[in-house]
C-alpha cells in the first residue's frame, strides 16, 4: 500500500492507536486478525518481512520508528545489503539512512536484470526482535514510492508456522520464504504466524480474495499436531480448495510437515492427535482430491534434507537450514510459475 510518500510492503492496514503518535503497521486487516486464534492475533501484529520502501534523490534520509517492545530493522538498497542494522524500542527513534557512495556509481548494465533497483531503500522489519512497529515519518530529498519497474512484478505469498514466519533466522531476508523469493526474483508476502498456523477458514477466505499474489505456498501445519486428525483434514481441505479455486493462473503449492524432533523419535508432550506422517498423508489426500489443476504437493522432507540445519530445538531451522530450504523450494516452484 502507498502511505504518504512511501510504499508499505506486506502491510495491508495502518492503525492509529491510543497513546501512540505514529501508526501501527499490520500485515492483515483488523477484522481478519480478530477472527483468528489468540496466538495468531498477536503474531499478525509482528511485522516480519514487512518493508518501508522509498526512493530519494540524496543521502542521508531520516526515518522515525518505534516499537511496542523491541524490533529489528535491516536496511537493503535493492538487493544489496547496506549492512545497517538497528534495534528500535518504545520511544520514537530517528534513524539516519545513508547509501554507500559507490552504489549510485554502479553502471546499470550490472543491475538492470535484478528484481529490485538499487535506488530503492528497503527498511525491512522483524528478525530476532519482532514486536509491533509504529511508523512516525520520513524526511529526505524528493522522497517518493518506488515505481513498478523498480520492484519485482512477481509476488509470492507464503503461509505457515514460525518456520515460515522466520523464527531463528538472523533476519527476514534469511528466512526460507525470503530466500525463496530472492531466488524467484519475487516480492514476498509473508503470512507466517509463529505457533498459531491453525488454517482458519476466515484466513483462507482472506487469502483467496487478495489479488496481490501470483503464486502461493501453504505449509500445513506443524502447529496443528494437537488437533484431531478429522479437524485437521476439514480445515486443510477448506483452505486448499478455497485458495486454489481462485483461478487456474495462480499456482498453489502445499507443503507437508518439515522434519522435526517427532520424526526422530523424540516425544516431549502427550498432546498430539496423530503421528507426523498421518498429517502429511492427510495433506497428500487433500491435494489429490482437489479438483483444481493449479494445486501442487511438495514434501517438506525434500525441502529440508540436512537436519543439521535445524537449531538445537530440532524444529526451527537456523540460517544454514533456511538457506537450503530457500533454494530447494525455489527449484520446485520455478516450473510452476505463471508466464
Do 303 and 166 share a structural domain?
yes
Helices (H), the chain: 30-33, 38-43, 162-165, 176-184, 201-209, 229-244, 276-289, 319-333
Do 238 and 116 share a structural domain?
no
Structural domain count of the chain: 2
- Give the pLDDT of residue 61: 95
pLDDT > 70? residue 180? yes
Do 295 and 174 share a structural domain?
yes
Mean pLDDT of 125-152: 94
pLDDT > 80? residue 171? yes
Single out the residue in 150, 178, 212 at which a domain terminates. 150
Q: What is the rounded CA–CA span in Å between residue 227 and residue 233?
A: 10
Do 214 and 145 share a structural domain?
no
Q: What is the rounded CA–CA span in Å between residue 40 and residue 42?
A: 5
Average model confidence (pLDDT) across the chain: 95
Q: What is the rounded CA–CA span in Å between residue 287 and residue 240?
A: 7
Do 21 and 35 share a structural domain?
yes
Single out the residue in 120, 150, 180 at which a domain terminates. 150
- Give the pLDDT of residue 270: 61
Q: What is the rounded CA–CA span in Å between residue 187 and residue 182?
A: 8
Shortest CA distance to 196 belongs to which of 23, 37, 8?
Answer: 37
Segment 212-225, tens digit of pLDDT: 999 999 999 999 99
Segment 142-158, tens digit of pLDDT: 999 999 999 999 999 99
Do 328 and 203 share a structural domain?
yes
Q: What is the rounded CA–CA span in Å between residue 257 and residue 255?
A: 7
Here the CATH number for the domain that contains residue 185 is 3.40.50.1110
Residue given cell 543439521 in the structure block: 308
Q: Provide the grid cell at 31.
A: 477484522
pLDDT > 80? residue 268? no
pLDDT > 90? residue 306? yes
Segment 40-93, tens digit of pLDDT: 999 999 998 999 999 998 778 999 999 999 999 999 999 999 999 999 999 999
Question: Is the preceding peptide bond at 49 cis, omega within 30 degrees of 0?
Answer: no
Strands 215-219 and 252-255 come out as: parallel
- Give the pLDDT of residue 269: 67
User: At what angle are helices 276-289 and 229-244 packed, to 10 degrees?
Assistant: 40
Q: Provide the grid cell at 210.
A: 487478495
- Which range marks the domain in which residue 201 is found? 154-336
Shortest CA distance to 160 belongs to which of 35, 289, 286, 49?
Answer: 49
Do 176 and 83 share a structural domain?
no
Q: How far is CA 311 from the centre of its chain?
A: 20
Do 216 and 75 share a structural domain?
no
Do 142 and 199 share a structural domain?
no
46 and 70 Cβ atoms separated by less than 8 Å: no
Do 170 and 143 share a structural domain?
no
Supply the DSSP symbol for 233: H
pTM check: above 0.85: yes
Neighbours of 60 (CB within 10 A): 13
The sign one gets for the Cα dihedral 139, 143, 147, 152 is negative
Do 158 and 173 share a structural domain?
yes
Indicate the pLDDT class of residue 110, thresholds 50, 70 and 90: very high
Q: What is the rounded CA–CA span in Å between residue 69 and residue 23?
A: 15
Do 272 and 183 share a structural domain?
yes
Q: What is the largest CA-CA distance in the chain?
A: 60
pLDDT > 90? residue 309? yes
Here the CATH number for the domain that contains residue 51 is 2.60.120.260
Single out the residue in 150, 181, 210 at which a domain terminates. 150
Q: What is the rounded CA–CA span in Å between residue 329 and residue 304?
A: 9
316 and 163 Cβ atoms separated by less than 8 Å: yes
- Give the pLDDT of residue 59: 75
Amino acid at each position: 500500500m502507498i502511505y504518504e510518500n512511501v510504499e508499505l510492503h506486506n502491510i495491508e492496514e495502518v492503525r492509529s492507536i491510543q497513546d501512540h503518535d505514529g501508526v501501527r503497521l499490520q500485515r492483515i486487516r483488523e477484522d481478519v486478525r480478530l477472527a483468528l486464534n489468540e496466538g495468531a492475533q498477536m503474531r499478525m501484529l509482528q511485522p516480519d518481512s514487512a518493508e518501508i520502501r522509498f526512493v530519494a534523490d540524496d543521502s542521508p534520509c531520516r526515518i522515525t520508528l518505534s516499537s511496542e517492545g523491541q524490533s529489528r530493522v535491516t536496511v537493503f538498497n535493492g538487493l544489496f545489503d547496506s549492512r545497517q542494522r538497528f534495534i528500535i524500542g518504545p520511544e520514537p527513534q530517528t534513524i539516519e539512512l545513508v547509501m554507500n557512495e559507490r552504489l549510485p556509481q554502479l553502471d546499470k548494465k550490472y543491475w538492470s536484470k535484478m528484481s529490485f533497483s538499487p535506488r530503492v531503500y528497503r527498511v525491512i522489519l522483524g528478525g530476532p526482535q519482532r514486536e509491533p512497529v509504529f511508523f512516525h515519518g520520513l524526511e529526505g530529498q524528493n522522497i517518493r514510492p518506488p515505481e513498478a519497474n523498480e520492484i519485482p512484478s512477481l509476488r509470492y505469498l507464503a503461509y505457515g508456522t514460525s518456520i515460515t514466519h522466520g523464527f531463528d533466522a538472523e533476519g527476514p531476508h534469511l528466512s526460507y520464504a525470503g530466500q525463496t523469493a530472492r531466488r524467484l526474483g519475487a516480492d514476498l508476502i509473508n503470512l507466517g504466524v509463529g505457533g498459531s498456523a491453525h488454517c482458519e477458514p476466515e484466513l483462507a477466505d482472506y487469502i483467496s480474495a487478495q489479488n496481490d499474489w501470483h503464486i502461493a505456498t501453504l505449509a500445513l501445519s506443524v502447529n496443528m499436531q494437537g488437533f484431531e486428525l478429522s479437524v485437521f483434514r476439514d480445515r486443510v481441505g477448506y483452505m486448499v480448495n478455497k485458495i486454489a479455486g481462485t483461478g487456474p493462473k495462480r499456482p498453489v503449492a502445499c507443503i507437508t510437515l518439515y522434519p522435526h524432533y517427532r520424526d526422530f523419535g523424540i516425544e516431549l508432550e502427550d498432546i498430539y492427535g496423530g503421528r507426523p506422517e498421518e498429517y502429511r498423508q492427510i495433506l497428500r489426500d487433500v491435494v489429490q482430491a482437489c479438483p483444481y489443476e493449479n494445486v501442487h504437493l511438495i514434501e517438506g522432507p525434500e525441502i529440508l534434507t540436512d537436519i543439521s540445519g535445524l537449531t538445537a530445538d530440532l524444529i526451527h531451522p537456523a540460517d544454514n537450514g533456511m538457506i537450503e530450504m530457500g533454494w530447494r523450494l525455489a527449484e520446485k516452484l520455478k516450473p510452476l510459475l505463471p508466464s
